[in-house]
Structure formats: structure tokens, C-alpha cells
Structure 1
Amino acid sequence: MRLRLPSERPTEPPTGYKIAHPVLSQDGTRAGFTGVSLGGALPYGVVAEAACVYGLRHRPPHRRCDCGFHCVHDRAAAEALLCADEHRGAVLLEVSVLGAYLRFERGFRYARQRVRTVTVGRCACGAGACALADAGWGRVGWRGLAPACEACARGRGVAVSLGGFARLAGDGVRVVGGGGIEPGGAGAGPGGGAVVDGLGVPELVAEAALLQARLDWFQAQLARLGQRGDTAGPQG
């Protein structure tokens, strides 16, 4: 006789923790995440539904498959994953577990999720991060991002402030620095900068770096068009 665990019917969605890489769409209008292991090739948004990465037609989470979203119960366990070399540029997500789920000793495997809070760690140089900048890798149509301070964000080409990432991701997600400071709030901004019109000085620097990168691209395109016009010669 096979014993089955009792079904759970929680009054509120369970809370879980996981890590992911932040990503920005090629046109810079959308923000999302990619997983760090299984399913990492499939970017997802703040509110997302899982699909079987093996292309099977069953609905995740299937008991005889490992498809579905994954998270752990303990925040400290998720933070420990950020110590691995390959995960240093990832961020910590606090999620609501939605839909059907399977409970395990350390976490859940489940069908749907809502990302509630994104916690961004420090820049690779050790300074507090005020932006998410080009990480030097990506997926088709998506550019990988990593935490960056205001100095490092200037040299990355593409960067978006923490508040800007939250606006692009949408659905009410909160993006906070490692110290728990939420961009746009009162007091000092990430890294201790003063707030100007609801944004910290480091955030404004990151936004300026992003605008400068777009301006450089625009000027390069104009120069290219000008060169083509010069070489075309007179037309009769």
C-alpha cells in the first residue's frame, strides 16, 4: 500500500526564496529574470507560469518530472547560493508560490509565482550597487545584467537604476539594495547618496549613463548614414 502525504490548502500563498539573473530586453522596454540552472534559457517576468523545459505536454509540477519553478523555504539558504562563483552576479528573489506545488524538505516545486521583492547585492568592485548594468552575456533578445556601483555603471554601456528596473518589470515588484533600502524612498539612496526628487544621486548617475549610451549609439548611426550618403555620389 502506498501512503500519500495529505493535501495542503493554505489560506495564503506560501513564501519562498530563490536566486536569478536580472535581464533587460534588447529594446530596453522590459525587464525580467532567468534561472541559474534548469530553465535558465527561458526568461520570465514578475508574474509567470512554468512550462516543462523538456517540451512535454504535462502541466508542471509533474511528479515524474523535475519541471516547474523551484525555491527554498529559508532565505539564508538562498543567500548561500550567491557565494558560488557562477552566481556572484545574481540577485535574491522573494516569491509567492502560486497554483499547484510539491513540498520538499528544503523548498517547493510549483506551477506559478509572483516575484515580490528583488534584493540586489554589491558591485563586483565591492561598492554598494545603485544600478543593474550589462553583465557581458545574454540570451536571444535579452541582455544579462549584474549589480554595479555608479563608477562601474558608467563603463558598462547599458545600465538601468534599481528603481528603473522595478518600473520596467512592473506588477508592483520592489527592488532594494543589500542594505534593504528601496530606491525612491525617503532618506539616503543606495550607497548613501542623497535623494533628489525621489531618486538617489547614484540612481540618477546610472540613468544618465544609460541615456549617454543610447546617445552614443544614435550618433554612431547618424555617422554611418552620413558616410553612406558621401560615397553614393551624384545621381542622374
Structure 2
Amino acid sequence: MRLRLPEERPTEPPTGYKIARLALSHDGARAGFTGVSLGAALPYGVLDAAHCVYGRRHKAPHRRCDCGFHCLHERAAAEAFLCTGEHRGAALLEVTVLGAYIRFERGFRYARQRVRTATLRPCGCGARAAVLADAGWGRPGWRVVEGACGACVGKRMSLRLTEFARLAGEGLTVTAASPDSVPGTPAEAMGVPELVAEAALLQARLDLFQGELARLSEDEKG
């Protein structure tokens, strides 16, 4: 006898979290996302349906395949993936799980989704992201963009967060995380004790410099 998974009929669609790269079409007319693992070569929109990445004709998610959208139950679990080097430029997405889904211990694999919010990490310099700038790579027909501050964007192609949200449509909200809320950023790494110690070191160096300058002045007079 074949065992079947219990069916769920929630009163409201489940919420999940995932990370993805933000992407802009080559003509600048559309905005979307590209995954960071399975299916990364297939950009998707804010409201989209999953397809089997292996080209099979079955509907996603299929029990005997690993196709479909993927997300995690907990926000913190998704944020943990942003610590790896290859994912530092990715954004944290909050999604609504739509259609058929398969529940796992840590998350869902499902048929359709709506991306509600995209939260950008701080710029590489540690400042809050002000724009989305060309990341220097992409997919066929799509260029990947990432958060950057006004000082670091330089001459790269860039667009405002609100403009990306408008191009993506479907009520998407794009926000930039505060450096204070991201562990390991300069704003948190330099607390009051560290700043006091740094100031004391600078004062000691200044005293040494003034002493040497006074000695040289005395030698010249002599």
C-alpha cells in the first residue's frame, strides 16, 4: 500500500523566505529575480509559476522531482545564506506560497508564488544601499543588479529602488536594510569600547608626533 502525504487546506496562503538576485531585462523594461541554486538560469517575476527545470512535462512541484519554487519557513534561516561570499549581493525575499505545495521540515517546494518584499543588504563599503547598480554579470537577456551607496555606484548603470519596484509591478516593495541591523557591518563592529580604544591610540600617536616635532625644533635652534 502506498502512503500518501496528509493534505493541508490553510485558510490563508503560507509565507516563506528565500534569497535571490535582482535582475533587469536588457532593454530596461522589466524587472525580476534569479535564483541562487536550482533554476538560477530561469529569471522569474513577482507573480510567477514554476516550471520543471529539466524540461519534463509534469506540473511543478512533482513528488518524484525536485522542481518548483523553494523557500524556507524562518526568516533567520534564509538570512544565514547571505553570509556566504557568493551570496553577499543577494536580496532577502518575503514570498506568499500559492498553489500546490509540498511541506518539508525547513520549508516548502511549491507551484506559484508572489514576491511581497525584497530587502537589500548594505553596500560593500557598509553604507546603506541607495540605488541598484549593475553587478557586472547576468543571464542571457538579463543583467544582475545589486545594492550600492551613492559614493560607490560610480559610472555604473543604476536605478532607484522605487523604479525597480515599479518595473516589477504587482505591488512589490523594495527596501534597504540598515547597517545596524546586519551583523558584522562596520556600524556594529565599531562599538563604544572600540571607538574609545581607537581614540586613545590616535591620541598616543599624536603625543609621540608632537614630542618628535619639539625635539627637531630644539636641534635646529642649537
The alignment status of 1:160 with 2:148, answered yes or no, reads no
For 1:100 and 1:4, how far apart are their aligned partners in 2?
Answer: 15
Within 5 Å, give how 1:41-190 maps onto structure 2.
Answer: 41-155=41-155, 157-179=156-178
Percent of aligned pairs with the same amino acid: 70
Question: CA RMSD for the aligned pairs?
Answer: 1.2
Residue type of the partner of 1:176? T
Between the aligned partners of 1:161 and 1:124, the Cα distance in structure 2 is 17
Q: Secondary structure at the match of 1:82?
A: helix
Shift of 1:161: 1.0
TM-score for the superposition, normalised by structure 2: 0.78
Q: Which amino acid letter does the alignment assign opposite residue 31 of structure 2?
A: A
Question: How many angstroms apart in 2 are the aligned matches of 1:75 and 1:103?
Answer: 16
Q: Which digits, 9 at most, give the CA deviation of each residue in 1:9-42, with x for residues without a partner? A: 0111100000000001111111100000000000
Distance 1:130 1:7 in 2: 44
- TM-aligned CA deviation for residue 151 of structure 1: 1.2
Q: One-letter code of the match for 1:152?
A: C
Q: Residues of 1 paired with 2:126 and 2:168: CA distance? A: 26
| CA drift at 1:63 | 0.4
Report the Cα distance in structure 1 between the residues aligned to 2:18 and 2:176, rounded to whole angstroms. Answer: 16
Report how many residues are paired: 179
Give secondary structure in 2 for the equivalent of 1:105: coil
The corresponding residue for 1:40 is 40
Letter in 2 for 1:72: L
Matches within 5 A, 1:7-18: 7-18=7-18
Unaligned runs of 5+ in 2: 180-222
Q: TM-score, normalised by structure 1?
A: 0.74
| Whole-angstrom distance in 2 between the partners of 1:82 and 1:53 | 24
Partner in structure 1 of residue 21 of structure 2: 21
Runs of 4+ in 1 over 4 A off after TM superposition: none
CA distance in structure 1 between the aligned counterparts of 2:147 and 2:105, rounded to whole angstroms: 31
